[in-house]
Structure 1
Amino acid sequence: MNSTRFEARSVIVTGAASGIGRAAALLFAEEGAKVLVADLNQDGAEETVKTIKAAGGNAVSVAGDLSDPQVVNEVVTTALQSFGSLDVLVNNAGIMDSMAALADVDDAEWERVMRINLTAPFLLTRAALPHMLSAGHGTIVFTASEAGLRGSAAGAAYTASKHGVVGLVKSLAVMYRKQGIRATAIAPGGTQTNILAHSLGAEPDKMSALMNTLVQPQDDAEGAPLGPTVLRDILATNSGRQSTPEEQAAALVFLASDAAVQINGVVLPVDDGWSAV
């Protein structure tokens, strides 16, 4: 461990079995934090913990559905029992939607995306806040999205869920700033993660159809889904270079650090300038 920026601090990172969450968990640990890795994917979570420990760090994992209040309580309780405090919460876990326009979103997709992207971070934040308030300090960082800043980056369900995340960040910042709590978010643009593979129940036929629609030629086939058809050219023109999970994690960890102590209620685009278009 070369840095002590987070020495003696405990951090919960959700969705830390892969992608941005894993990169953030590794970076927090590298900078001295004690890290609880939370993810639905138990094998992936344990692999992240194993990597941290192999480098000399301190980490534990909890596997489960973070929209389940019992799992949420287990995450917070395990962090407190293992590390003695809860200093930073990173609400990163999320899934993509099918890029469907509103009229084409079925109940199951809407409920699943909202449950994982918005209800889960709400539940975990609510469970963590009493401990942070008791300590007189705490930092909460969310992974929002470019889709939380505009209406042209994803389907209706994902876009609504990430706008909800932005609302949580701003409400937290206003309500709790006098109690020593900071809330911020990164808003990633295109990032090289496997979020699509975890979406729609990871159904290969739906994923394949979605990707084919997003990359098909200009003359759309009759009956092509409206959402991907509309979004394809916008995304191709405006979305910029895809980032790596490590680049997103660097911004996330910065927002959690003392270097960002005066930054509160901010949603930081990490998108190669997409939000400036």
Structure 2
Amino acid sequence: DFPMAVARRFSIVNGKIVYKKDLVAGYSDYYKRISKANEKKFLALLQKFYTDSRFQKFYNNHLPLYKECEEAMQTMVDKIDFGWYDRFFGPKQYCEQNVFLGILIGGANYAVHNKKSAKGKDVEIVDAVMGCCSRKDGRIYYGPEYTLPIIIHEFNHSYCNPLNEEVWEKISDKATELYTPNEEFYKSEAYGNPLYVMNETFVEACVIRYLMSHPELDLNGFTIEDCIQIDLRKKFYMIRDIIKVLGEREANPDLYKTMRDFMPRYIEAVNNYKVESHKQPKD
């Protein structure tokens, strides 16, 4: 995700690539991943490439393609109930959500996080960066069966990750017990520690709760069980348990005003999970 994190910090103004002045410097460990000196060198090289390649002309020549991609994605975004986030997790102030189309980044999808200052407030920015599209009947196409769950997933991270981090000391032993026998597999999937696996499991369980609460969505025959099976192949073994316990949160909105209020019950469900209850393939 880091090339897009870098790109998100720049703007093009009158043919010059410049820093966005409203972004909070160093947010989300940004400067742990690139030094300011190397960022400055990169910016100079990028400016040279932009000028030498006459990139603005290239961009302008492809505007019809970009517009077609935007229109195809808009049909998907219009299907999302963004009010669900406040209802499910609790209200969150000062948050901006965007979808970016990375039509040259392959099949990967990921979130990029930033903060900006606006009217004296820090506004969290969550960008869902979507990978390459498909074509259907000659037109750009984003299938709902893979597009909608991914967008919901990426935006979930800004809610789920901080909650997991807040309670990490209370669930880390169980998470590590699950992670250790499958460490090689998880690392091959870019989940480099137990917290990453718990974040993904929590996020995916919330995606499925979203789908369960929106039965009107047409996912081209893709079912909730299909989603769960994909998660199990990723070795998110707690997924069914977390889905089940999150149902209590939805069923008792007066008892649990926000997801943060619900976290003691979540901790209990995680720690009650029996690691030996599943087979752990040697792959």
Give the alignment's TM-score, normalised by structure 2: 0.28
Q: Work out which structure has the larger RCO, using CA pairs closer than 8 Å and 6 or more positions apart in sequence.
A: 1
